[in-house]
Structures are given as C-alpha cells and as structure tokens.
Chains A and B, each alone.
Chain A
Amino acid sequence: MSGHDNTEAKSRGIEDILTGYQGRPGALIPVLQETQEVFGYLSRENMEKIAGALHIPFSKVYGVATFYAQFHLKPRGRNIIRVCLGTACHVRGGEKILDAVSKELNIKPGETTKDLQFTLERVACLGACGLAPTLMVNNETHGRMKPENVPALIQNYRGRDREETAVH
C-alpha cells in the first residue's frame, strides 16, 4: 500500500494517527511505527509534524528514528525481503542465501529496486532457527532455504504484486 501515490489520503493519515496518541506518555515509538506502517517510511515532513503534535523537539524524533533498526528515512519497496544472518543461519549458510537474493534482484543489502518492488535487508534472527537458513518476505517466514530456490520464491511475489496492481 505504501507504493501508491495518494497524497491527499496520506496527509489526512498522519493527523489521524496523531490524534490517537496525543497526551499519552511514551507515544513516540508507537506513532513512528504506525506512521511507517501507513507511509512505508518516515519523511522529514512527517517527523516534523510528529514533533509538533507531541510537543517534543524534532531532534528527539530524529534521534529515536535513527536509533532503531526498524525505522527508515527513505522510501522502501512494496515487498521487504529480510534475510536472516543470525547465528543458526550463519552456520548453515545464510550468507549464500543473501548473495542469491542480492543477485536475483541486482541490489545490495539495504537497497531498494528502482521500480520500488523490493527492498533487501539483513536481520539477526527471525526465531525460526530450527529451519535455518531462513528469510522473511513481508510478514511471511520461509525456512529451509536453498540458493537455487530463491528465484522462484521472488518470482512468486512478483506475480502477487502484479495481481494486486491489476485489481486496483
């Protein structure tokens, strides 16, 4: 949903998010989480609005947003691929899976494809270590990965992406 350009709905979105949290202690992180959920990333503009609404300095919002691995200050792909490089996956060849995904998408970890279809990231443990090596696409975890199965897996998400755009 983050890929669709519907500025009007989005600008109403941030105000909506904020009204739910004003005056609540410890609201900053949940607000950032929800904002990122809706917009796909945290733009400077939105972070400024958040600072204003919660009555905290912009520097604090920025400090928190850059501290946590979960937050992103740049637009990201519609599909987020997170390859696990936790201990169990490391000893069972997680790097090879990362290389295979990287090669298939032609981007490095941390990057997003030009068409904004995929973002590739590393993660330290998805909690499915018994099925190492693993990776996660959006909220779906895939275990027992092999480099040779990577292209088909990605193709599957490419297909889904097309179906969705056809519906809209």
Chain B
Amino acid sequence: MAMTLEEFTKKSEGIRRNFRKGQTKPAEIVVGMGTCGVAAGAQDVYDTLINEIKRLDLAVTVTPVGCIGMCEQETLVDVVREGQGRVTYGRMTPEKMKRVLQEHVIGGRVVEDLVVGNLEGDEEQPYPGLDFYRKQKRWVLNKCGFLDPEKMEEYLGYGGYQGLVKALSEMTPEQVIEEVKKSGLRGRGGAGFPTGTKWEFARKSPGNKKYIICNADEGDPGAYMDRSVLEGDPHAVIEGMIIGAYAIGANEGYIYVRAEYPLAVHRLEIAIKQAEEWGLLGDRILGTEFGFHLHIKQGAGAFVCGEETALMASIEGERGMPRTRPPFPAQKGLWGKPSNINNVETFANIPLIIRNGGAWYASVGTEKSKGTKVFALTGKIANTGLVEVPMGITMREIIYDIGGGIKDGKRFKAVQIGGPSGGCLPESLLDTPIDYDSLTQAGAIMGSGGLVVLDEETCMVDLARFFMSFAASESCGKCTPCREGTKRMLEILTKITEGKAVMEDLDKLEHLALVVKDASLCGLGQTAPNPVLTTLRYFHHEYEAHISEKKCPAGVCQSLIKYQVIPEKCTACGKCQRACPVGAITGKGREIRFIEIDRCIKCGACYAACPFDAIAKV
C-alpha cells in the first residue's frame, strides 16, 4: 500500500471525515481491555457479551479499547445508545453485563445502580461530572480508552499521523528539533533532560548510521503509565519515534519493552506491521527519501536495563551492565553508533507538539516544566488509577481532589514518588508543586510517574527496607559502592526492623547512603539511597521508636509486634481459632480466647478474621 505523502493525506482525511459516521447499528458497547481491565475480569465480561449478542441476535457493535484510567472501577463497560449519550458502567461482571444488555441495550433504561459516570466531555476531559477527572488534562492519554488500539483506521480517525505528515512535508529536521525545544518538553523517563537538546546532540553527532531507541522497560515497581500508553495507543509512540528518527537522521530503531508486558508487546507488533503496510515504516516513507525500520526487543527481567547504557548493552545481547558516560549515547551508543534514547511518554508527546506547535505545548505547566505528566496513582488511595495532570499541580490536589483521599477513612502518612530512586514526602510537603525542580529540592524526584500513597498502617522503616532490598537485588554488581553499599544498608535496615539496632546505626546508615549516592557508577546506585534519606529526614521518629522503644508504631514489623486478645471485646465466637494456621489460640466453647505467644507466628490471620476488633497488635 505504498503511498505518497499526498495520497496518504487524502486517504487519512477521508477516514477522518467518515470516522464512525457510518455506524448504523443502534447501540455500541465499549469494553476496557487493558491489562488492568483483563486482570479485573474483562475477558469473561467480553466473552459473555459476545455470546449473548449472538444468542439474542442483537445489532450492536463491540469495541475493545485500552485503559481510560479508572482502575478502581475496572472492569469498565460503556454503552452508547442513540439519544442517551455514552454511559459508563463500573465493576462489571458477566452477570451484570447480562443485566445491562437486557435493561439498557435492549430495554433502553439505564441501569442506574451500576453507573460510574456519563462520558459527556471530550477526550481531554471525558467525565466533567467526576472528581477523578475534573483536574486532569489528558493529552498523552487522549485516545487511550477511546480507540481500538489494534486498528490503524481508528488512530487515523482520531487524527493520527498528521504530525508525521506535517514534519515530512513542511519541516526540515532542524525545524522539528526547534519546535520540540520550543515546547520545553523534558524527558519523562525520570531525569528530565530537555528532549529537543538531546535530539540536537544526536543530529549533530557525525556518522551516517544512527539509532533511535524507545525505553519501555518501565522497571519502577508501582508504575504502569508506559504500559497503558503502549496498550491503549501504540501508534502514538511509533509516530513519535518516526518523527524523532527523521529529526536526528536515524534509519533504524528499537523499542525495548519488558517481557512482563505481553499485551503491550502484542499490540506493538500489530501496530508496527500496520505502519509497514501503510508505508509509514520502511524505505522511502510516503515516497520521500527518508527511510526508517523499527524492531521490538523484549527485556529479560533486570531493573538496571532501564538505564540507557545498560539497555543498549542488553540490545547488543550482552549482560545489561551500565557503561561510564561520557561518551554519551549521542556520541557512541548502540553498536558504537550515535544513538538517541527516550521514554515512551516522551515519544507519545511528540506528535501533539508537532501538530499543535511548541508554543501551544508550552502554554501549560510551570516555568521550567512544561506540558502534562502521567502518574500511576496507587497504594492506600480511594481511587487508584492512571491520571494525567498539568505540571505545577500540587500533590495535595492529586491525592485528595483526584484520588479521593485515603482508602477506608485511614490517615495519610506519606506519598512515595519516583519508585526505588525516589523519595517519601510527608503531609507537610503536600503542597509541593509537581515539577522537576521542586521535587528534587524536596529530596524526591519526578521519576517516571509512580505515586504510591501510604497511610498510617505503613511502616516507613519497613518501606525503606523494601526499596533497599529491591536495589540490592537489582544492583548489577559492576561497581563496588552500589553492590556492597546497598547490601550493607539493607543489613542495617533489617536490624532496625528486627529491633536489634542501636542509635549509632542511624549515623552509619546515613553516612553509607551519602557515599553510595556520590560514588556509584550509574543512576541505580546514585539514587538507591533516596528512600532511606527521605525517610530519615521526614520520619526520623519512626526509626527512633524501632531502636529505643523496640516498637513499630505502624504495627508492621513482625519482630516488634505481638497479637493479644482484648478480653472485653471477645465474644468467644472462635473465628480466630479456626483461622490460626499453627493452633496458637487456646480456649473452648464460651471461654475467652488466648493467644500463646510462643507458638504465634505473627501471621495476622486472627487479626483479619476477628469480626469484633477484639485482637490487638501491641
């Protein structure tokens, strides 16, 4: 289907004009089929739907889409019916699906008790009626949850590849770079390096073989922004990469995606094949001189491979160990050639910037951080989900206005931003604006976009220990400060959580943290101490409680807690006894139960099983 620029423009204009207009069926049903949706049971709902439609012989279109971001409400199903708008149902099951089919699709009556909201807005602001969306600005996620990611026509229908057409027909590579610079876009993979400047380095680097790489390793545990974009709108990333390749003069590229994301890999494979068929990838793209070939490389399970030089070593088939910089990838990258590497979200921003102009993009955000940022809002928050907000919004707005505050009426304790390289911010810093520089100043980092909210039941020492154990096991072992330092810090943290530490250990811990930060070879080691340093800074009292009082205030560290029956509350129902896996609870019939400390393994099963809150952690 090789086309020239004009032919392609004409064809895609035609698709846009008629997009979804010819639908004659009286109803359309949209099912959220991202990984989150499927994990919540979307496949069963989808299968039921298809079977029922066949059985009842209904005239209905069914469109599977990516994630719209309301993970808390998955599985999500939208029903569009003439004159009734688009109604979104949440927490769907096969049974509820049948009900919606009968009552709404066939009967025309909205099933009010299952409704989450009415999708009355546009893609940027789909649910004006829901708090979860009111402060969002969905630019990158614009089409996620709206288009069928496995169909090229859908992407074109939403205006896809117009950025590429504009770049190829009206702009020189230098002008593309200029526009990206004007937008103020900074890398979304964590460090926040200005994208346009990086492209300029790669462009100017001598050599006629250059590579462009998309970093889709997303190793930060607790983050899934990139996965959602790849699953929900894969062509946006591909379009961004093609424009990038044109700008820097690369004719070959790789998407390095983690193997834990099978659905994202699958959708990317489909999208790349389509782009090739449409002449958007390959030699002489749209009849121009410019050619670009794109491949997928699957990661093999190593966090450090998200680091750019380790990632390139991994593509080369080596162990994924970082190299010293300089030389930077722009000078000597993949296979020794000039290379440019960007994050998924960074690339997904590019088509928007080229289409709408850098000035448009820079109109949102703060002085030094422009545009929007996608965050994965998780942990002890009422509304978990994927949110996209303008830069400069405060953490408080994200957690309370968008996220609905803390789950189950508990108290907020901290928010962890930036994953294993980031930090924990306390209540007093909730008004910190989201921008690269303010967050760094607070001791955290923007990171790739993981926001894990913690409540009073989270122990900050345990959390620091958790991150350190992650860093220690993911350290590649090449440099000593990181390899040894993370292990020693983990030992000290473990001692503290077991109540075996002394106060001097805290000084040692802090000293070690600073050494590892300064002396490590790559970003993994340089940032691994951040969770420790921020918890020491903002939650020192919790460390002290573990050491001097031998107490875990949050009741998490097992060595420091005991389970006890509160006699006044015990009704002798015996539920705890049945739940206990080791028979540590004594008492018969109407007797008040008793936990034998020596036998108790502190698993918490009794605590969870008691319907009367008659078991206390002390």
A interface vs B, CB < 8 Å? 25-30, 32-33, 63-64, 67-71, 84-92, 96, 99, 103, 123-132, 134, 136, 139-144
Inter-chain contact total with CB atoms closer than 8 Å: 147
Encode B298-322 as 1/0 by CB contact (under 8 A) with A. 1111110000000000111111100
Question: A-B pairs with the 7 shortest C-beta distances?
Answer: A130-B71, A86-B221, A69-B301, A87-B222, A68-B300, A143-B39, A28-B317
Q: When chains A and B are docked, how far (Å) is the Cα of A132 from the Cα of B335?
A: 39
Please determine whether B302 and A69 come into contact, CB atoms closer than 8 angstroms: yes
Please determine whether B300 and A129 come into contact, CB atoms closer than 8 angstroms: no
Please determine whether B378 and A132 come into contact, CB atoms closer than 8 angstroms: yes
Q: When chains A and B are docked, how far (Å) is the Cα of A99 from the Cα of B317?
A: 36
Please determine whether B218 and A144 come into contact, CB atoms closer than 8 angstroms: no
Q: When chains A and B are docked, how far (Å) is the Cα of A69 from the Cα of B536?
A: 31
Please determine whether A123 and B300 come into contact, CB atoms closer than 8 angstroms: no
Please determine whether B317 and A29 come into contact, CB atoms closer than 8 angstroms: yes
Known contacts A25-B335, A70-B300, A92-B379: A130-B385 contact under CB 8 Å: yes
A interface: dominant SS: mixed
- Please indicate the chain A residues that have their CB under 8 angstroms from the CB of B377 in the complex: 130
Contact size range, B: 35 or more
- Please indicate the chain B residues that have their CB under 8 angstroms from the CB of A132 in the complex: 378-379, 384
22 pairs of residues in contact across A and B, judged by CB atoms under 8 Å: A25-B317, A30-B298, A63-B319, A64-B317, A67-B319, A68-B301, A68-B302, A69-B302, A87-B467, A88-B378, A125-B222, A125-B260, A127-B35, A127-B223, A127-B260, A128-B36, A128-B39, A128-B71, A131-B40, A139-B262, A140-B38, A141-B39
Shortest beta-carbon distance from B408 to chain A in Å:
11
Instruction: Name B264's closest neighbour in chain A (CB-CB).
Output: A127
Cβ of B227 within 8 Å of any chain A Cβ, yes or no, is: yes
Please determine whether B38 and A88 come into contact, CB atoms closer than 8 angstroms: no
- Please indicate the chain B residues that have their CB under 8 angstroms from the CB of A29 in the complex: 297, 300, 314, 317
Q: When chains A and B are docked, how far (Å) is the Cα of A37 from the Cα of B140?
A: 34
- Complex interface residues of chain B between 207 and 252 (CB less than 8 A to chain A): 218-224, 227
Shortest beta-carbon distance from B359 to chain A in Å:
34
Q: When chains A and B are docked, how far (Å) is the Cα of A134 from the Cα of B467?
A: 19
Please determine whether B384 and A131 come into contact, CB atoms closer than 8 angstroms: yes
Q: Which of A68, A103, A132, A139 has the most CB of B within 10 A?
A: A68
Known contacts A86-B222, A125-B222: A69-B300 contact under CB 8 Å: yes
The residue that A91 contacts in the complex, of B463, B470, B476, with Cβ under 8 A, is B463
Instruction: Name B266's closest neighbour in chain A (CB-CB).
Output: A139
Q: When chains A and B are docked, how far (Å) is the Cα of A80 from the Cα of B223?
A: 23
Please determine whether B380 and A92 come into contact, CB atoms closer than 8 angstroms: yes
